[in-house]
Amino acid sequence: MSAASVPAQSPAESSPHSSPLRPWEGTGLLVLRNYVTYRRQWKLFVTGFLEPVFYLFSIGIGVGKLIHSFEVGGHTIPYAEFVAPGMLAASAFNGALMDSTFNVFFKLKYEKLYDQMLATPLTTSDIARGEIIWGQLRGASYSVAFLLVMWALGLVHSWWAVLAFPATLLIGFAFSAVCMGLTTYMTSWQDFDKVLLVQLPLFLFSGTFFPVTAFHGVLRWVVEATPLYRGVVLCRELTTGVITWESGVSVVYLVAMGLLGLLVVRRRLETLLLT
Amino acid sequence: MATTEIVRDDRRLSPWQGTARQFDYFWTVYRRTWKSSVISSFVAPLLYVLAMGVLLGTFVHVSPGRLEGATSYLAFIVPGLIAAQAMQTAVSETTYPVMAAIKWHKSFWAQMASPLEVRDLANAMLVFTLFRVGSTCGVYFLVMAPFGVFATWWGPVLAWLSTMLVGMAFGTWTFAFSAFIDGPDAFGLIYRLGLVPLFLFSGSFFPVSNLGTVLEGVAKVTPLWHGVNLTRMLCLDRVDGSTALVNVVVLVVVLVSGWWLAIRMLERRMAT
């Protein structure tokens, strides 16, 4: 029904009823909903921040006493300074992965939350964007806190480190989008074993605990092509202040990955929930 | 048959009979679901060995004195990682599964309608946990043997027993806790404030002397440190008699008190 064929309507009535919410309004509603439900679990929220800090103290400082130093971009840095940005990136990755797999799967399959939401004026795009932005808000607060811990421990020596914060957002965005897309293909909790099978190798072998020089030949090429490795080196380049053209490659890689994921999520939610 | 009589068998089962009957249940369930435990029990720990022991280890160049007598970082880290795996396996078998049997699928309540007693339910589940810890750690030891990280052949055998002690020290107390609480919300906190710090600071990854005097003292109070230390001494053939005795006594006391408490707590829970 075009506006021209039905003249003399009031402005409120002439607005299309199929989508009375603007994208940012729909997204905002979902974020608010998550905030309200998550408020009760503030202890889990607070302790979520502690995990990477524990790893930093244990591996960075405890194991660091057994390892002298590593070279990053021509500079020799102590082990703790090497591990810290790796933990920063890995924490953004782990948070995004957990939020966009376990939580989304539970809402999709068990709570049937998205079915309910789609009975309201919310669209699948609103849900995809809202969930990802919510995960980002949560991850962002962890990243800021962790960067402050790094700074307090004297592990940051460059102003570029400020940009490590948006870098963690980028890591979170890329993984949230892709993992949420993959979650829509899961059928049972058993599939989460496969999540662990991807999560753990990425966490352990992405240059988080030791440099990529530990790998040789094709293996090294594979590691360098994985998304978390790009995120880890990006964060490390920023906190140590050694920016190269490779940093740009990492940024483009993660942005592309996130956008691709977002596209898949929207289409999959439409297939799953609107047919 | 002229009359149908409901025969109530009043002969009480002995604890052994009760445990054996109930263990059968866990065994049947496990035979059908063991595949889902392969990745978390076997693949994940080996990835840690590969990443931290083998790859990170190539960057560790220190004298054996700095590594409690281990000639390589891999030899140092493997016993610690197996002891920590024993803890994790036992805790994961005694958190959500206990809550599920009490609260979600309520199998404990159904089983109480049989001649079994609460004591048998707890015992069988803890024996099953022992089986899970023993098999997981046993495979771990076997897989690590060809890497040349063990000093003797009998050391790892005794160390295997010590990891079972570690697992059950944690498993029994976690069982008691799971039977005590109303809902699963505390489990997330247990993992993040209990398991993760213990895993990271109990001497699995580095000697606790690296922590400084105060924190070293704290670490040495935790049951996991006693387990890691005992396991490592046995694997490296560097057993110090008096320390080993302290380690064993601590773990046995924790285990026995935990087992007693586990039965108590389940009885209390099932009585309401």
Which residues is A71 bridged to in the sheet? A76
Taking residues B38-57, what's their average pLDDT? 90
Among the ranges given (A65-79, A211-225, B146-160, B197-211), the one the predictor scored with the smallest mean pLDDT: A65-79
**pLDDT value of residue B230:** 97
Strands (E), chain A: 69-72, 75-78
Residue B138 has pLDDT above 90, yes or no: yes
User: Over 70: is that where the pLDDT of A6 sits?
Assistant: no
The average pLDDT across A219-246 equals: 93
With CA atoms as reference, the chain B residue closest to A70 would be B59
Cβ of B55 within 8 Å of Cβ of A210? The answer is yes
B1 band by pLDDT with thresholds 50, 70 and 90: very low
State whether A214 and B67 contact (CB < 8 Å): no
* Torsion region of A74: left, alpha or beta (phi above 0 gives left; psi -120 to 50 gives alpha): left
Q: How far is B217 from chain A (nearest CA, A)?
A: 15
Inter-residue contact A129 to A23 (CB < 8 Å): yes
pLDDT at B7: 57
pLDDT value at A83 more than 50: yes
> For residue range B221-244, what is the model confidence (pLDDT) as tens digits?
999 999 999 999 999 999 999 999
**pLDDT(A3) > 60:** no
Summary mean pLDDT of chain A = 86
- Looking at the predicted structure, is the pLDDT value of residue B160 above 90? yes
Q: Is any Cβ of chain B less than 8 angstroms from the Cβ of A207?
A: no
Q: Is the pLDDT of residue B26 over 60?
A: yes
In angstroms, the Cα distances linking B70 to A4, A75, B45, B235 are 85, 31, 20, 9
What is residue A14's predicted lDDT score, i.e. its pLDDT?
45
Check CB contact under 8 Å for A70 and B210. Answer: no
Mean per-residue pLDDT for B145-167?
95
The count of CB pairs under 8 A between chains A and B is: 87
Q: How confident is the model at residue B4 (pLDDT cuts 50, 70, 90)?
A: low
Q: Is the pLDDT of residue A252 over 50?
A: yes
State whether A204 and B210 contact (CB < 8 Å): no
pLDDT, tens digit (0-9, with 9 covering 90-100), for A48-81:
888 889 999 999 889 999 997 888 877 889 999 9
Are the Cβ atoms of B56 and A201 closer than 8 angstroms?
Answer: no
Task: Determine whether the interchain pair B193/A50 forms a contact, defined as Cβ–Cβ distance below 8 Å.
Answer: yes
Q: Specify the residue for token string 């079972």.
A: B164
Using an 8 Å Cβ cutoff, are A139 and A111 in contact? Answer: no
Cβ contact, residue pair B211, A62, below 8 Å? yes
Of A194, A78, A241, A31, nearest to B43 (Cα)? A194
Question: Mean pLDDT across the stretch A222-228?
Answer: 95
pLDDT at residue A1, as a whole number: 38
Min distance A196 CA to chain B CA atoms (Å)? 8
Q: Answer whether A216 touches B (CB < 8 Å).
A: no
Residues in chain A within 8 Å Cβ distance of B62: 66
- C-beta separation of B84 from B225 below 8 A: no
Q: Is the pLDDT of residue A244 over 70?
A: yes
- Per-residue confidence (pLDDT) for residue A194, from 0 to 100: 83
**Interatomic CA distance for residues B179 and B265, integer angstroms:** 6
pLDDT at A106: 86
What is the structure's pLDDT at B9? 59
**Apex A147 CA angle, A144 and A149, nearest 5:** 110
pLDDT at A120 over 50: yes
A17 token code pair: 């009823």
A272 pLDDT band (50/70/90 cuts)?
confident
Answer yes or no: is pLDDT of A127 > 60: yes
* Confidence (pLDDT) at B231: 97
User: B51: which chain A residues are within 8 Å (Cβ-Cβ)?
Assistant: 204-205, 209-210
Using CA coordinates, name the residue in chain B closest to A56: B200
% of residues, chain A, pLDDT over 70: 93
Dump pLDDT digits (tens) for B196-206.
999 999 999 99
Range in A133-137, B83-87, B99-103 with the lowest mean pLDDT: A133-137
Residue A38 has a pLDDT of: 83
Amino acid identity, position A185: Y
A47: nearest CB among B55, B58, B193: B193
If you measure CA to CA, which chain A residue comes closest to B215? A62
- What does the block give as tokens for A61? 């400082």
**So what's the pLDDT on residue A228?**
96
Q: Is A102 on the interface with B (CB under 8 A)?
A: no
Q: Is B51's CB within 8 Å of A43's CB?
A: no
Q: Is the pLDDT of residue B77 over 70?
A: yes
Lowest mean pLDDT among A108-117, A168-177, B167-176: A108-117
Contact residues on chain A for B189, CB-CB shorter than 8 A: 43-44, 47
| Whole-angstrom distance, CA of residue A125 vs CA of residue A264 | 11
Sign of CA dihedral B128, B130, B135, B140: positive
Q: Does A218 touch chain B (CB under 8 A)?
A: no
pLDDT for the residue numbered B263: 97
How large a percentage of chain B has pLDDT more than 90?
A: 76
Cβ-defined contact of A65 to B210 (cutoff 8 Å)? yes
| pLDDT at residue A175 in the model | 94
C-alpha dist (Å) from residue A69 to A79, A211, A267, A275, B163: 5, 11, 47, 57, 34
Least reliable range by pLDDT among A91-100, A182-191, B5-14, B235-244: B5-14
Give me the mean pLDDT over the A133-137 stretch.
88
What pLDDT is stored for residue A190 in this prediction?
Answer: 75
Q: Mean of the pLDDT values across residues B53-75?
A: 91
Helix (H, G, I), strand (E, B) or coil at A137: helix
How many whole angstroms separate alpha carbon B22 and alpha carbon B17?
9
- CB A245: neighbour CB atoms within 10 A? 6
Q: Is the pLDDT of residue A10 over 50?
A: no
At A15 the pLDDT is 47
**Token pair for B272:** 């309401």
Q: What is the pLDDT of residue B10?
A: 62
Q: What's the confidence (pLDDT) of residue B72?
A: 92
pLDDT at position B8 is 56
Chain B residue at shortest CA distance from A195:
B39
Split at pLDDT 50, 70, 90, the class of A5 is very low
Q: Is the pLDDT of residue B123 over 90?
A: yes
